[in-house]
A and B are shown apart, each in its own frame.
Chain A
Amino acid sequence: GAGVSQTPSNKVTEKGKYVELRCDPISGHTALYWYRQSLGQGPEFLIYFQGTGAADDSGLPNDRFFAVRPEGSVSTLKIQRTERGDSAVYLCASSLSGRRNEQYFGPGTRLTVT
């Protein structure tokens, strides 16, 4: 079966631009997570959705970052006024339900801000 997919796989943008990163979770998974992974680090939690609602957005670094999941399936992470420090791999994961279930990760989107 299909796993978690993320598009694009790579995104290069100029400082100050707006970007959208997309995540397609495993069908039937109600929980969806976004993480950011910088070089040499482990994934850093950004936001967790249960269904359509953001159950925990405490990891979003500032108000330039926003994520939506309008129909409880596909999610989009939006970054406004990108900065060079936003460069990282953005990982999406989904799980059957809740935080205690196994998370399945996508391959990530590598974002480079020049």
Chain B
Amino acid sequence: TQLLEQSPQFLSIQEGENLTVYCNSSSVFSSLQWYRQEPGEGPVLLVTVVTGGEVKKLKRLTFQFGDARKDSSLHITAAQPGDTGLYLCAGAGYGQNFVFGPGTRLSVLP
């Protein structure tokens, strides 16, 4: 069974600060996704990474897939209150379903 750990579990920061959240596993993934989920809604896909060492940028968000394809990080620059939410990573092995981590709950205070 593939298990994903995410850290930190909770993060509360002031508007304008930078932050990094992490997603780790002992398993190798063929692809890894990051989602953001807001209360009362389903998760919304932010990015998919498939190549070890891959870096993708989405405005102020930077996603990196580890060289060994076992871990990933999400860095947010100059966080805004609109970034508040639950950040989930999900990994899949070849031909397998995506397995979700428990998430990092981010709160950005104005």
Contact = CB atoms under 8 A, between A and B. Distances in A.
Nearest to A33: B97
14 contacts: A41-B102, A41-B103, A42-B100, A45-B97, A48-B97, A59-B97, A91-B43, A99-B97, A100-B31, A103-B98, A104-B45, A105-B41, A107-B40, A108-B40
A103 B102 contact: no
Interface residues of B, number: 21
Given A42-B88, A42-B90, A100-B31, A105 B98 contact: no
Interface of B: 4, 31, 40-45, 48, 88, 90, 92, 95-103
Given A42-B100, A45-B97, A48-B97, A107 B92 contact: no
A56 to B, nearest CB: 6
A40 B45 contact: no
Main secondary structure of the interface of B (DSSP, over half): loop
Contact of B45 (A100, A102, A108): A102
Interface of A: 4, 33, 35, 40-45, 48, 56, 59, 91, 93, 99-100, 102-108
